[in-house]
Structure 1
Amino acid sequence: MVVPPWLSVPPPGYGGVEQTVAGLVDALVDRGQAVTVFGAGEHHGTGASFVSTVPTLQYDRLGESLPELAHLARVDDLIGPADFDVVHDHTTIGPLLAGRRAVPTVATVHGNPVGEYGTVLGYTDHGVGLVAISHAQRRLNPRLPWVGTVHNALDLPGIPHKSAPAAEGPVLWLARFSPDKGPDIAIRAARAAGLPLVLAGKCNEPAERRYYHEVIRPLLDDDVTLVLDADRRAALRLLVEARCLIMPIQWEEPFGMVMLEAMATGTPVVALHRGAVPELVRPGVTGLVCERADELPGALRAAIDLDPAACVAHVAERFSTARMAAGYEEVYRRFITAPAVPGGAREPARVAVR
């Protein structure tokens, strides 16, 4: 299991990829698989073996290409067919380089496969199989060598949840400060609904800080409580206390782990109909999905009528880490037994999507 060199697994705060990988690794170990995680730093919190390619996490160099390239080069020096049956890569540029490995590689695409990222993925060797995290993501670039679709998942034990709707709780927006995440729309929607808003944002990268100061800060007033860079424990507490989570996304969100986290705490989701939202939220049961921003205020008020227990049950049934692990096991089996094609590449396996 190859993870990016930026954060630990699991991460202490923001880090959807690392949180997902941690749950997947532990579920695979629970199912009897021998898993080795290749990452950075000295610490991890999974049941797998851990190999570090560099002593310190590279988060302060996030956005540079060389740290990830060096990490992947070291990984390639350390793996071989005598030790591993399959490599599962979660890095950004790993799929472009993995075709030269002697061990079959599947790579999960965690971002939107369009633009420059789509160009990189378009040159993926057909000996590397790409896995989508939602059907919506896969539809954005159907020509890529996809070998399966497996939804992300959440490890429910240890996540607190409410037993009754938080009628006096605020609306919660929990994301990174970016126009794609619509914090400005969240402020206007909560204000129009006459409800208090907690704006809990990741704001530690230059682009995030610039967007916050230039666009969001002028919109703040007494009806908005600001929380910057909350760690995971604080984020879960905010979710439990909220009447609902608002997701006014302005892009084709490939998944959205925060929606699972909200529903796992019993908090319904109010979201715009974009990206993977329809695959995660069950309208009228675990949340309300709006076509337009002007529908959000009414949905924020109505969300209080949704049952927290139904939200928790939905995540347990549809998005458990055991289900995710079973999906990936199927991808691994189909892919490593797929017939070879001329030139040493592997024919992309036809894997049933989940």
Structure 2
Amino acid sequence: MKIAQVTPLYEAVPPKLYGGTERVVAHLTDALVDLGHEVTLFASADARTRAKLVPVRDQAIRLDPSPLKSDLAAHMTMLSEVMDRIDDFDVVHFHTDMIQFPMFRKYAGKTLTTLHGRLDMKDLPEVYERFGEYGLVSISDDQRRPLAFANWRATVHHGMPAEQYKFHAKSKGYLAFLGRISPEKRPDRAIEIALKLGKRLKMAAKVDAADKVYYETKIKPLIESSPLIEFIGEIGDHQKSEFLGGAEALLFPIDWPEPFGLVMIEAMACGTPVVAFKCGSTTEVIEDGATGFLVDTMEQAIAAADRAGLLDREAIRARFELRFSAQAMARRYVDVYNDLLAVQPVIAPPVNDVVTPLHEPRSFGNVA
């Protein structure tokens, strides 16, 4: 199968530091190549991939030091390049939200769009009602709720390469927080859990410009008030295995409809259990009492973090390999691609100057 993967240009593929969507695209692309497909990746030139790379920008936007740049212009250039090559592909898989919808309407039937972000925002319903011909993939069933009417083809959970994460049979006794310092990620809850248990907490986190005031006024004082709390800052993929694998538990105390939460499966890949609040996708990712604990209150979270060390780390790693490997994700996407191809109109060759009618499309099934 000839497949195009079209990624956002904000981070490298995979990202050098923090970044979710581009990381997933990187792993999906390589896994599809390993499955024998002919894959073309449209991305910035600093991408690392086993697919054929079509570079559409010299480097990813976020770490580009240039003070004057246009993310819209960069993405429009990329989409134009994809359009120029549209006939080269059986399937064009977009990860760029909705920006491609007006340009590719004629070819909507050969495209698939995975939505990676939250969907409970004003203005989104009108877009997905207007462009209902585009087939969509959700990254969790919960993500769909604000746009239940949309043209959903499947839910495909994210996956990561098993070999990228080293299994750690024993922890080093600390709790971990990995992600962004932002109100919805609730790093304050993670700190409170650690302090109530008298356990060390290591925080490897990115501080966006939009969250700098929140960090400086709310979180930094909490970090500086206790020697149990260690703020490491933003880390890259090469550091995650050691960081997560050494943790007794990953704290995922979110307070928003998380579409997926890659850090949860990254921790599971290392054998580390996850203590997560029941929000967004967490009930789909975490198996309560097996790969971690699902909680509703801070009291439950504190108790869960205290007993997380009792869970079987080998079993957690095994569940990751079964459910969330990159290969598992790629196979599910191949099923969706095949469904997409099965309903594309096919024109039969003429017989005695009479054209056979188009085949009737069949309905899609849902891929869990």
Does the alignment pair 1:23 with 2:37?
no
CA shift, 1:97, in A, is 3.1
Give the secondary-structure state (helix, strand or coil) at the position aligned to 2:364: coil
Q: Which residue is 1:219 aligned to? A: 222
Once residues 162 and 126 of structure 2 are traced to their aligned partners in structure 1, the CA distance between those partners, rounded to angstroms, is 35
Once residues 234 and 164 of structure 2 are traced to their aligned partners in structure 1, the CA distance between those partners, rounded to angstroms, is 21
Once residues 192 and 69 of structure 1 are traced to their aligned partners in structure 2, the CA distance between those partners, rounded to angstroms, is 47
TM-score, normalisation: structure 1: 0.90
Once residues 325 and 127 of structure 2 are traced to their aligned partners in structure 1, the CA distance between those partners, rounded to angstroms, is 28
Give the secondary-structure state (helix, strand or coil) at the position aligned to 2:220: helix
Does the alignment pair 1:147 with 2:124?
no
1:169, 1:241 within 8 Å by CA — same for their partners in 2? yes
- The 1:349/1:47 distance shift into structure 2, 3 A limit, reads farther
Once residues 237 and 69 of structure 2 are traced to their aligned partners in structure 1, the CA distance between those partners, rounded to angstroms, is 23
2:46, 2:59 within 8 Å by CA — same for their partners in 1? no
Kindly provide the CA deviation profile for residues 105-164 of structure 1, in whole angstroms up to 9, marking residues without a partner as x: 100000112214634652452332110011111233211111111111111013111123
Once residues 279 and 212 of structure 2 are traced to their aligned partners in structure 1, the CA distance between those partners, rounded to angstroms, is 25
Residue in structure 1 matching 2:89, options 80, 84, 88: 84
Residue in structure 1 matching 2:138, options 115, 132, 150: 132
TM-score, normalisation: structure 2: 0.87
Give the secondary-structure state (helix, strand or coil) at the position aligned to 1:36: strand
Alignment of 1:270-289 (within 5 A): 270-289=275-294
Alignment of 1:53-202 (within 5 A): 53-59=56-62, 66-81=72-87, 83-102=88-107, 104-116=110-122, 118-119=124-125, 121-123=127-129, 125-164=131-170, 166=171, 168-202=172-206
AA paired with 1:208?
A: D
CA shift, 1:349, in A, is 4.9
Once residues 209 and 191 of structure 1 are traced to their aligned partners in structure 2, the CA distance between those partners, rounded to angstroms, is 23
Counting matched residue pairs gives 344
CA shift, 1:78, in A, is 2.9
Q: Which residue is 1:39 aligned to? A: 43
The answer to which of 248-257 and 288-297 deviates more is 288-297
Once residues 121 and 325 of structure 1 are traced to their aligned partners in structure 2, the CA distance between those partners, rounded to angstroms, is 28
AA paired with 2:364?
A: R
Give the secondary-structure state (helix, strand or coil) at the position aligned to 2:239: helix
1:99, 1:128 within 8 Å by CA — same for their partners in 2? no
Does the alignment pair 1:245 with 2:259?
no
Once residues 177 and 59 of structure 2 are traced to their aligned partners in structure 1, the CA distance between those partners, rounded to angstroms, is 32
CA shift, 1:60, in A, is 5.1
- The 1:76/1:179 distance shift into structure 2, 3 A limit, reads same
1:76, 1:101 within 8 Å by CA — same for their partners in 2? no
Structure 1, unaligned stretches of length 5 or more? 341-345
- The 1:133/1:117 distance shift into structure 2, 3 A limit, reads farther
Structure 2, unaligned stretches of length 5 or more? 346-359
CA shift, 1:22, in A, is 1.4
Q: Which residue is 1:343 aligned to? A: none
Kindly provide the CA deviation profile for residues 263-293 of structure 1, in whole angstroms up to 9, marking residues without a partner as x: 1001100010111111111111110111112
RMSD: 2.3
CA shift, 1:348, in A, is 9.6
Does the alignment pair 1:255 with 2:269?
no
CA shift, 1:44, in A, is 2.2
CA shift, 1:339, in A, is 5.7
The answer to which of 53-62 and 294-303 deviates more is 53-62
Q: Which residue is 2:356 aligned to? A: none
- The 1:248/1:121 distance shift into structure 2, 3 A limit, reads farther
